[in-house]
Amino acid sequence: MSHNSIIAGLDIGTTRISQVIARVNDEGEIDIIGVGEEPCQGLRRGVIVDIDEVASAIATANKRATRMAGVNTRSVFVGVPVIRVSCAASHGMTATSGDDWRITALDVKQALDAASVLAVPPDREIISVLPQEYIVDGLGGIQDPEGMTGIRLEVNARVITGQVTILENMAESVERAGLSIEGRILEPVAVAQAILTDEQTHRGAMLVDIGGQITQVVAFYEGTPIQFLCVPVGGVHITNDIAIGMKIPFEEAERIKQRSASGGENDKDKDEFIQDIIDARLREIIELIESETREVRNTGLVPCGVFFAGAGSFAPGTLELASEILDLPAQIGKSHPISVPKGIEPRSLSQVALGITRHVAGDSRFLLARESQPSAFKRALFNLRGWFDEFLKDFF
């Protein structure tokens, strides 16, 4: 791994675009050095509907994050929502390349590359390849084969594909913002990296990300995702309900909702009325999840329970309703401790963007791909001159 690699994670959310820039050291430990955010109205239910609006918000978020970090990051790893996404099992194999038969990161990358060679219909595109287990000389169940000795390396993987139109609109928005996409990660898989431990994903856990207009779910067992789900309802719908129920503008309803998460209005009747509205929508979201995840829950595959993420999950009553309806222990997932720039509240960071940087830092494939293109890498990350030019332009 190269020294102090820079990784930028981009979360294209329904309510906000968030970028996080991380510096990774040789041990794979990360420090967040830049954060940028911008509200965005260019998505509907998680899908981009206004490319220019999204591009402009990405450019603003990027400018803020790169300024704070002091690096000119022009390539980003982007989160993809679980919308029209499919999953296929695949198998890859490679002969190890080292003289001493020690398996290198390059061998692992080659096995995964082999697993990603499969026929994909023309309207679909591969988003990412998630390894399930590695097999070294016929011995399976291996999670991290790097450094082991073997001649033949195989991998059983899940290949995640998405709809071309959705992915192309995403690429176009990023490009119009003057950036390029270096890799893609499913949003809930990224969030899981930010909040779940390896033990939890191995024993079995469910993660629910309540966003603005969508709620995404992933269930993990034995370290790999076993179910993905997206429900087209989120925090914005709760705010809308409050606005309609109380006959007030959306912005005021949003303020009231957020206040209710931290104690309410100090008017018992009003607080109860608001809580009833919130509960009705939360119940809808959680009941939808309940009916779709029955099999996974009833077969006891998620003993660690359900972890909530996404700012939508700050709505009061979420955990109570979840543990009642899903019949599982429920908690708000807390991001793993991480160093952030002064003045930044870790809770406010996008767990998607944060999780992307963790995911990439722990996956030598991405950094290997960079090392094979040193000039592009240097151009993309350390174009300080460009950064100063831009800075001066803004200044005058």
Ligand X SMILES: Nc1ncnc2c1ncn2[C@@H]1O[C@H](COP(=O)(O)OP(=O)(O)OP(=O)(O)O)[C@@H](O)[C@H]1O
Residue (38 or 222) nearer to ligand X, CB: 38
Residue (55 or 80) nearer to Mg ion, CB: 80
Q: Please choose which of ligand X, Mg ion, none residue 15 contacts, taking the beta carbon within 5 to 8 angstroms, the exact cut-off set by kind.
A: ligand X
Q: What is the DSSP string of 62-100?
A: HHHHHHHHTS---EEEEEE-SSS-EEEEEEEEEE--STT
Q: Please choose which of ligand X, Mg ion, none residue 235 contacts, taking the beta carbon within 5 to 8 angstroms, the exact cut-off set by kind.
A: ligand X
Distance, CA of 152 to CA of 135 (rounded, Å): 8
Residue list 292-321, contact with ligand X (CB under 6 A) = 310-312, 314-315
Is there binding between residue 234 and ligand X (CB under 6 A)?
Answer: yes
Closest approach, Cβ 311 to ligand X, in A, equals 3
Closest approach, Cβ 117 to ligand X, in A, equals 32
Residue with the CB atom nearest ligand X in the bound state: 211
Q: Please choose which of Mg ion, ligand X, none residue 236 contacts, taking the beta carbon within 5 to 8 angstroms, the exact cut-off set by kind.
A: ligand X
Q: If you compute the radius of gyration of the chain from its CA atoms, what whole number of angstroms results? A: 22
Q: What is the 3-state secondary structure (H, E, C) of 113-180?
A: HHHCCCCCCCCEEEEEEEEEEEEECCEEEECCCCCCECCEEEEEEEEEEEEHHHHHHHHHHHHHCCCE
Q: Which stretch binds ligand X (CB under 6 A): 13-21, 166-174, 264-272, 337-345?
A: 13-21
Buried b (16+ CB within 10 A) or exposed e, 29-53: ebebbbbbbbebebbebbbbebbeb
Place of tokens 């995964």: 112
Is there binding between residue 212 and ligand X (CB under 6 A)?
Answer: yes
Sequence-distant (≥ 6) Cβ neighbours of residue 204 within 8 angstroms: 219, 220, 221, 222, 300, 301, 302, 303, 304
Residue list 120-139, contact with ligand X (CB under 6 A) = none
Going residue by residue from 34 to 73, which x/- string records binding to ligand X, judged by CB under 6 A? ------------x---------------------------
Of positions 239, 293, 357, 364, contacts ligand X by CB under 6 A:
239
Contacts with Mg ion by CB under 5 A lie at 13, 211
Is there binding between residue 16 and ligand X (CB under 6 A)?
Answer: yes
Beta strands in 283-351 (DSSP E): 306-309, 330-332
Beta strands in 286-335 (DSSP E): 306-309, 330-332
Q: What is the DSSP string of 51-70?
A: HHHHHHHHHHHHHHHHHHHT
Residue (239 or 364) nearer to ligand X, CB: 239
Of positions 13, 34, 42, 145, contacts ligand X by CB under 6 A:
13
Distance, CA of 364 to CA of 344 (rounded, Å): 28
Is there binding between residue 184 and ligand X (CB under 6 A)?
Answer: no
Is there binding between residue 9 and ligand X (CB under 6 A)?
Answer: no
Closest approach, Cβ 15 to ligand X, in A, equals 3
Chain residues binding ligand X by CB under 6 A are 13-16, 46, 211-214, 234-236, 239, 254, 257-258, 261, 310-312, 314-315
